Amino acid sequence: MKSRLTNDALTVATFGAAILTAAVFLTRFTLPGFLLTRLLDPLVGALLVIAASYAVGALALRAIPRMWRPLPSAVARRKAPLTGEAGGAAEGSGTHKGSGTHKGSGTHKGSGTHNAEGSPDPCDALLLGIPLFGLVLSVVSIAGFATPVVIGTITILLAIYGAITGWRHVLALRITTNIAILIPPIVLAFLGAITPVNTPDELTYKLAVPHLYLQFGRMLELPLNSDSYFPSAVYMADLGALVVSSGIAAKLVHFVIYLLALRVIYRTARDLEERGAMWITAAFAWTPALAITAGWAWAEWAMIGLVLLSFLHFERGNLDVAALALGCALSTKYTALPWAVVFVAIAIWRTVGDRRSRLSGQPGLPLLHAALITFATGSFFYIRNWIWTGSPIAPFLLPNSPAIAEYRSSLGGWAELARGYDIFHPAIVDDALGILLPALILLSPLALLSRNRRVVDLFLLGLVQFIGLVTLAPTSRLMILALVPLALLGGIVTVRAWEAGNRAVRVALASLAGIAIAAQFVLLAFIFVARWSVMPYLAGLESESAYLARTRDFVPAYAWIADHTKPEAKLLLLGENRTYHLDRRALAAGNLDGPRVAAYLARFRTPAEFARELQEQHITHIVIHKPWYRVGAPVYQSMVEKEYLLFVAPQSHALLHDFMRGGARRVYEDTSYAIFELNR
């Protein structure tokens, strides 16, 4: 009894001492409390969207009638992992023991679809749920209900349901202990996520287009912004975050997507080579082009997670879940299309060619069922674009589509590849693949020596896409879905080289990996600190508005618009495409849309024609960003200038000048902007 009282007293004394010293410290040094208070609102907003997404994803997985019954052909695959251990794909295929998120989470060894209680794997449900939640909000928005009240109500109600049904799974999550190598990129990603929305793509379309839908009250065609046609299921999920909180909440949701994608990479790598899964995962996490975007509202990590989840479940026999993941990827980004073509060909080859996969005595029935699921979840934006423009993959196959091919040079993709542009290009440093990932890709053919069916499938998935995409010469990130399968296979080769080598070989390999990681960390630190200059904000030395005013020239002009124009004002922006922080309805270009806007202005032959167009569009103001508005033939001093500069023909400039003299009056001007109000 005395011993128990003594122990209780020690516990009370320990907590008392900690609380006392913390209270003294935090009342005198208030910065931690200030930073926590600043983050509270976006954290709550992100949690609401995460809970709502989990609800939608869990309901979708429960609604798939055949996900309880893996294809019989999957049994043989699960018994023959590359390590040669029966059932090796099951135990530990997540980030901890068990194929799901906690011990015993698979009702079938390696299936990884449900836990022991029959509930969907919570991490899979969340990763799938985010684009599915975005599809729900897309349907609501195109129906004309993209209002804060409607979007906020849907988000909160689904979040309540998700929290009620999923809290037990959150408490059951276990994290593996050997994640030290992932901690630095995860910390950098989190710091990126808690900074204000400020990357060009977020400001122009990734978050700007959902923000514009809120301003208009519905999803509508924005013909001057070619990026607005892109599939955007994940970005439409951000709509919920923008309503209940802010852009930082949306970025925190993408940070969670990043963690989920790392888990899928780990599970896929563990199915292939159990002992080196963490190393392979780290190679992806440390890749500069991917690591720098992990805390941004970009879809690269969502795409990696979704397509690998489709492959993972296909190999485990869950064809319907694989189809669901593929549909979500198709609804998120066009880069899923090359993956889908190759993946579907492999699925038909493997499934139809295996008699054991023909369920219910009907050949092709599993594939038909899966195709319907993919169509239901992946077709929304393609049908919308076809109705709006006649092209399901708008803005492509249409006039003045953005020139994404040969973005970096006119040398051609294979010449750029030979020159190492994808490894590092000084003019676009945040698109660098670095050292590790390209090295793994070069080693990938050696994995074919195992003659394993899954290795062949992954190699084909990567190689066929790679050949086609390199020919187009896009940026490195646009090729990432072709590189992921090859890098996974290269990771297997390095793990086997490690296991087969003596002590000297292992020391050499570890040293090379350490040097590569250190070099890539320097690049990440440079981009994070020097290019984006976020440290004063993170240290609490400036507010969000002060940070934006220091880094962006549109802040004074947009503040004037907010203070001096009516809420129903509608603006035409020329030489400016960053509309996220503009709280008014607007028509503006997207990335690489200078020629598109120039062609739009060239349509008008007289000031009267231009005036009629503005009246039909209900434009009230014209905003001209003078540094990005040029007259004459396009001349670019750097590759990134193509993304934002507007070169108008002299005739169009003269027409615009004539219209301004009689049809509008200048109401604001600073060194960067001129704002004109139209006469009515």
Cα distance between residue 105 and residue 109, in whole Å: 9
Q: What is the pLDDT of residues 212-245, one digit of tens each?
A: 999 999 999 999 999 999 999 999 999 999 999 9
Reported as a pLDDT band with limits 50, 70 and 90, residue 364 is low
Q: Which helix (H) or strand (E) holds 585?
A: strand 585-587
Are the C-beta atoms of 605 and 659 separated by less than 8 Å?
A: no
Tokens coding 404: 């994404």
Check pLDDT > 90 for residue 680. Answer: no
Q: Which pLDDT score is estimated for 202?
A: 97
Q: Which pLDDT score is estimated for 391?
A: 97
Instruction: Please state, for a pLDDT cut of 90, what percent of the chain lies above it.
Output: 69
Check pLDDT > 90 for residue 553. Answer: yes
Check pLDDT > 90 for residue 197. Answer: yes
Q: Hey, is 604 helix, strand or coil?
A: coil
In this prediction, residues 453-471 reach a mean pLDDT of: 93
Q: Which pLDDT score is estimated for 274?
A: 78
Beta partners for 625? 673
Check pLDDT > 60 for residue 363. Answer: no
Instruction: Please state, for a pLDDT cut of 70, what percent of the chain lies above it.
Output: 88
> DSSP assignment of 477-516, as one string?
GGGHHHHHHHHHHHHHHHHHHHHHS-HHHHHHHHHHHHHH
Cα distance between residue 465 and residue 289, in whole Å: 19
Cα distance between residue 457 and residue 444, in whole Å: 12
Check pLDDT > 70 for residue 360. Answer: no
Mean pLDDT (the chain) is 88
Closest CA to 584 of 611, 610, 557: 557
Q: Which pLDDT score is estimated for 67?
A: 43
The residue with greater pLDDT, 15 or 81, is 15
Check pLDDT > 80 for residue 12. Answer: yes
Q: Which helix (H) or strand (E) holds 390?
A: none
Tokens coding 224: 């001057």
Check pLDDT > 80 for residue 410. Answer: no
In this prediction, residues 107-128 reach a mean pLDDT of: 64
Check pLDDT > 80 for residue 342. Answer: yes
Q: Hey, is 677 helix, strand or coil?
A: strand
Classify each residue of 366-402 as buried b or exposed e, where b means 16 or more C-beta atoms within 10 Å of its C-beta. bbebbbebbeebbbbbbebbeeebeebbbbeebebbb
In this prediction, residues 365-384 reach a mean pLDDT of: 92
Q: Token match 């410290």: residue? A: 25
Closest CA to 251 of 321, 308, 191: 191
Least reliable range by pLDDT among 88-92, 118-122, 262-266, 519-523: 88-92
The residue with greater pLDDT, 365 or 661, is 661
Check pLDDT > 80 for residue 101. Answer: no
Check pLDDT > 90 for residue 103. Answer: no
Angle at 39 between CA 33 and CA 44, to 5 degrees: 125
Check pLDDT > 80 for residue 206. Answer: yes
Least reliable range by pLDDT among 162-176, 484-498, 521-535: 162-176
Tokens coding 204: 């122009």
Check pLDDT > 60 for residue 66. Answer: no
In this prediction, residues 278-297 reach a mean pLDDT of: 96
Closest CA to 486 of 280, 301, 293, 324: 280
Reported as a pLDDT band with limits 50, 70 and 90, residue 531 is confident
**Which residues are CB-contacts of 228 (< 8 A; sequence separation ≥ 6)?**
205, 209, 212, 221, 222, 590
Closest CA to 417 of 470, 483, 472, 475: 470
Q: Which pLDDT score is estimated for 1?
A: 52
Reported as a pLDDT band with limits 50, 70 and 90, residue 429 is confident
Terminal alpha carbon distance of the chain: 88
Q: What is the pLDDT of residues 600-621, one digit of tens each?
A: 999 999 999 999 999 999 999 9
> DSSP assignment of 606-624, as one string?
SHHHHHHHHHHTT--EEEE
